[in-house]
Every structure is written in C-alpha cells, then in structure tokens.
Structure 1
Amino acid sequence: MTHYLGIDAGGSHCRSRLVDESGAILGTGETGPANAKIGMDRLYATLRDAADQAIAAAGLDDAAVAGIRTGMGIAGIRRPGVRAALAELDFPFASVAFDTDGAIANIGAHRGGDGAVLVIGTGSIAQLRVGGRDFSIGGYGFPISDEGSGAALGLSAMRHALRALDGRTQRTPLSTAVSERFGHDTLQAVAWMDEATPKDYAALAPLVMDYAEANDAIARSIVEDAALHIERFIETIFAQGAPACALAGGLAQRMRPWLRARTVAQLSEPQGDPLDGALLLAGFGR
C-alpha cells in the first residue's frame, strides 16, 4: 500500500498529515516555525520532526516509510536558492514534491482547479491558478509586505504602545495591555523588538482583535486598516481573472466580520485545507 504525507510549513507552525490510499488519516504532527528564512538545517529538522510524529502515530516500519509519497508547502520557498537546497536534502521517502505554503492552500481550497486563496496568518499572500497558470500576489516577507496579517497587526500595536508611552498619542486599553508586557519600559520593548520574529509580532494579533471587538479606538483603526488591505487583495484577485476566492490562515475567520458585506458575498468556502493540498501535491488521488 502507498502512503501519502502532506506537510504545511508556515511562519508560525509546521503541520503534517499521513493518509493511506483511501484517504484515512493514520497520523498527524505539529512543530514550530518552518519558514525557509530560519536556515536549511533548522528547516530540515523541523520538517523531519513533523513527518516523524505522523509516521510514529501510524506505526509504519522502515519499508513502508520508504514508499511514502510526500508533498510539502513551505513558506519562503521562492527565495533564491531555496528550491535547489531543498532538493539536496535527504528525506527517506519515495518522492518529495515542494511548493509554497500558499500554493498548497490554493490546491486544497479548489481541489487543484482554477481559483484563488488569500492566506491571512502570520503573513499574507494570495495564490492564484487562472487558466492552469499558477502565480502569487504579495507575500514578499515581513515587514515590507504581509499586509493585513497577524504580524502586521502586532507591529502596529507595538508602534501605538511606544507612541503612547512617549505621550505622542493617547493611551488606550490596547496600548496599556501591550506595554504591560514590557513593564511599561520603552527600553525593554526595544530590546524585545531587536530579536522579535514575525511569529512574535503575530502573537499580539489576538490581543489587537480582542480590543477592537471591545471598541478600543486604536485597535479598531488597526483592524480596519488591515481589512482595507485584505479587500484590496480580493479586488486584485478577481481583476486577475480568478473565478473564485477563498480565505485561509489562522486569522482569516476573525478578520471576516470586518470586511464589507459585498466583499464577503464574493468569497467561496474552501473545499479543503492546506494539508489536503499538500496531499494532492504528493499525488494522492491520481
């Protein structure tokens, strides 16, 4: 029996799913960030950890592992040299197909057909398939890109908190909640920012959403600005000829109520998740 392994490696976590030929889930796994920016050694270790968790849960022996067909969607794979470096890694599987995390999200959302997915998580990227041609919009990396994402919300919250500590803007419950994490000490906040990753900034996003929903004026302005970026993404997706657009990513459902009704009416429900896309990339169902 052939087994199929799908891996979704993103900026905040790496998830895996192992299935048999019928699609029955035999095992899953989850590890930490797996963006290509963390370095090839750490990336390989993270991918293997997620894969090994699923394999262990399934109880497969070495012979069965050697027959696994694998699909991996990895954030940051478009960076120069990453695909070539991935091809050199020693995975113990029969085959490994690589693509971006956005690509597997789109494959899963539309079962490999034409359409688009807008991923709103730690970062943001739109992945499209139009007339069989695959391309993306955005996703150039934080902080230059990733508009509307969790990392962008967290960065805006930090800016507001620091300005409030300076007295350059009015304090709000959001700024107080953020600055409390650093003892209301600007130098501690700056020291944190010197080392902070996109995942660290994105960890502040739920706090921003909570205060926006509680009508904190600054939090609302941050989320409303993010919603405008998301709506512009969606407008561009349809202008590029995509017949359908679905939302994906950890922040997608929480941002949905902040979009205009006419925008939401244009959206489609995904037919599957990114791990479904990774399994299709691996060859499942062919």
Structure 2
Amino acid sequence: MTEAFRYLVGVDGGGTSCRARLCDARGKVLAEARTGSANILLGADIAMASIREAIAIATAQAGLSEQNYGEMAVGLALAGAEQRKAWYDFMAQPHPFARLTLNTDGYGACLGAWGGQDGAIFIAGTGSVGLLRRGKNVTVVGGREFPISDQGSGAVMGLRLIQQVLLSVDGIVPQTELARLVLAHFDHDVDAIVEWSKTAHPCDYGQFSPEIFRLAEDNDALAVTMLQQTAADIEMWLNALIAHGADRICLMGGIAERMGPWLTPAIQRRLATPQGDAMDGAILIAQGDHNLYPL
C-alpha cells in the first residue's frame, strides 16, 4: 500500500537515458532528473548507477536528502528487464530505498499511456517493443534487443544507415548529403567506422536519427529511404498487435512519435494519443504489485 511511503519515484530507463520523477504520496510531482543509460542488459551495475544518480539529483532538487530514501517506493520501467537473468541480477543488488519494483520499459509505457487501464502501445526510441495489456494478460511483440530485434528503432535505423554509407563509399549506391555527413563524423576514415562498430552500443547507432529526420525534410534520398523502411517496420509490429486483438495503439518514444506522417492512412486511423508517459507508468509500478518476476 502506498500509505506506507511518503514518496513515490518513477524511473524510465532505456539505452540512451534514464529519467526519474519524484512525487509525494498523492502523486504530486516534486522533481525530475535525467542521466545516462539504464538498459540492464548493458550491465546491472551500470543501470543501477544511472538510476541512483537520477534519483539523487531529483531528491536534491526537491530539497530532500539520502536520509529520505528509506521513505521512497521506487518503480522501475527498464529496457532489458524482460530477460529473466538480467532481471534477477539487477534486483540482487543492494539499494537504500523502502521498496524497489522492476518491470519492462514497454510495460511502464503502456501503463502510462492508458492511465493504468488496458490498452496497447508501440514504443520506439533507441530500441523498440510492442505491448498489449488486458488485465493480467500481457502480449509482447519484438523487444528482443539490438541487433537481432528492435526493428523500427533508432538503433536499427542507424545500423542500416552505416551499411548504406559504406556501400556509397564503394560506389554501389549514390552518396547523398546524409552519407557525407556520416562520413564527416568519422573524418572520412572507413577504418575508423569499422573500429567503432566493434564496440558501438545501440545508442551510438541511434545518434544519427535527428539528422535522418532533418534531411528527410529536404528530400535527401537516403534519409527518405531510412524513414520509409522504419515506417514499414513499425507497421509490421502494429499489425501484429492488431492481430492479437489491439484496437487502438499509442506510439511512444522519440522515433515512434515522429513517424505518424510516414504511416499508411489505415494504420494512422488506429493510433491513439497517450494519456501519460513511461514515468507516469513507473509511478504506477511504484504504487502497486508490478514486479515482472517473483522475488
């Protein structure tokens, strides 16, 4: 019961950033903060460090201190939490909070989008996942992490972009302004691209998304192709959710929220406006019994 906690904290963590929202027991927002990646597949300790830093910043902004951590119920909506071992590895870590509840970023986004009621969402930022919630029954499509899944995301779009840039270097496809921009990012050194790719994370590939959207507005052929492919991927996931029984679907995340105009009219008619965001969903996770796996 939330009456036992003076404060509620909702955390939305993905491959690029970690956002924390600190509220009082009634849900009034006291402060918000953002830090680095909190995808638990990149390391349970890395994710926990980002989470604790974000909560510390929000706590200070609200005029509180670490002494208040024992009064906080923390709800986590984190990328990678669907992987059972990663979930248990993360939850095995010590923490100073009164309660820590962990579910996926997709689940948190769905709770937030539909105000805790049943509904469907497709979230695409650095990664991607679709989710349909009907009571205790949750259907998930995709979300199996980059590079084997996450179609429709910034990471996959960035990977495809790098592939096309290298093809342009070989003279196989035309070299557009977008390709030249990416080459300039690597000082026109193909070997540097290859070396970078050996250790690049999803967020590293996703960093090119803003330029893709910008240059698509100028009809850069490569940028337009990237968004057309991403739109086709998103429609694939949306149609899968519809086949599972979804009626209306909320698009969420930095990529998905900008893709509406690129989708077909039939799919656009299925879209709904989210009532809230993933941090709203994480606050609901903090309030209830929403652990993905048993402790």
Q: Taking structure 1 as the reference length, what is the TM-score of the superposition?
A: 0.95
Q: Which residue of 2 aligns with 1:205?
A: 209
- What is the distance in 2 between the residues matched to 1:280 and 1:47? 17
1:119-130 matches, within 5 Å, as 119-130=123-134
Please give the alpha-carbon distance, in whole angstroms, between the structure 2 residues aligned to 1:247 and 1:15: 19
C-alpha displacement at 1:178, in angstroms? Answer: 1.0
Tell me whether 1:27 sits opposite 2:31 in the alignment.
yes
Q: Deviations over 1:77-129 (max 9, x none)?
A: 12241222222222212111100011100010012211111001001100210
- Which of residues 24, 35, 48 in structure 2 aligns to 1:44? 48
Q: CA deviation at 1:218?
A: 2.1
Alignment partner of 1:231 is 2:235: yes
Contact 2:45–2:90 under 8 Å retained in 1:
no
Contact 1:148 1:227 in 2 (8 A): yes
Whether the aligned pair in 2 keeps the contact of 1:10 and 1:101 (CA below 8 Å) is: yes
Moved more, 129-138 or 225-234: 129-138
**Is the 8 Å Cα contact of residues 114 and 242 (structure 1) preserved in structure 2?**
no
The separation in 1 between residues aligned to 2:156 and 2:92, in whole angstroms, is 34
AA in 1 matched with 2:164: H
Measure the CA separation in 2 of the matches of 1:170 and 1:85. Answer: 47
Q: Is 1:97 aligned to residue 101 of structure 2?
A: yes
2:118–2:134 Cα contact (<8 Å) kept? yes
Partner of 1:88: 92
Pair 1:184-2:195 in alignment: no
Distance 1:16 1:131 in 2: 26
Residue 126 of structure 2 contacts residue 154 of structure 2 at CA under 8 Å; is this kept in 1? yes
| 8 A contact 1:129–1:242 mirrored in 2 | no
User: Normalized against structure 2, the TM-score is what?
Assistant: 0.92
Cα distance, 1:187–1:58 mapped onto 2, change above 3 Å: same
Render the CA deviation track for 1:196-215: whole Å, top value 9, x for unaligned: 11001000111112222211
SS state at 1:81 partner: helix
The residue type equivalent to 2:161 in the other structure is: A
Partner of residue 292, structure 2: none
Q: 2:82 aligns with which of 59, 64, 78?
A: 78
Shift in Å, 1:131: 4.5
Report the Cα offset of residue 11 of structure 1: 0.6
Q: What pairs with 1:1-286 in structure 2 (closer than 5 Å)?
A: 2-283=6-287
Unaligned regions of 5+ residues in structure 1, if any? none
Contact 1:154 1:203 in 2 (8 A): yes
C-alpha separation between the residues in 2 aligned to 1:161 and 1:149?
Answer: 18
Could you tell me how far apart the structure 2 residues matched to 1:86 and 1:217 are?
43
Pairwise CA distance, 1:21: 2.4
- Indicate conservation of the 8 Å contact 1:35/1:75, yes or no: yes
Q: SS where residue 281 of structure 2 aligns?
A: helix
RMSD of the TM alignment (CA)?
1.5
Report the Cα offset of residue 63 of structure 1: 5.0
Contact 1:153–1:222 (CA<8 Å) still a contact in 2? yes
After superposition, what is the alpha-carbon deviation per residue over 1:228-273, rounded to whole angstroms, capped at 9, x for unaligned?
1111111111111123210100112221111112211111111110
- In structure 2, distance between residues paired with 1:266 and 1:194: 39
Q: 1:183 to 1:61 in 2, by over 3 A?
A: closer
Runs of 4+ in 1 over 6 A off after TM superposition: none
1-side partners of 2:282 and 2:104: how far apart?
A: 10
- Which whole-Å CA distance do the structure 2 matches of 1:40 and 1:59 have between them? 28
The 2-side partners of 1:41 and 1:92 are apart by: 15
Shift, 1:281, TM fit: 0.7
Q: Which amino acid aligns with 1:162?
A: L
How far off is 1:50 after superposition?
Answer: 1.0
Task: Evaluate the alpha carbon distance shift between residue 151 and residue 61 of structure 1 in structure 2; reply closer, same or farther with a 3 A threshold.
Answer: closer
**Equivalent residues, number:** 284
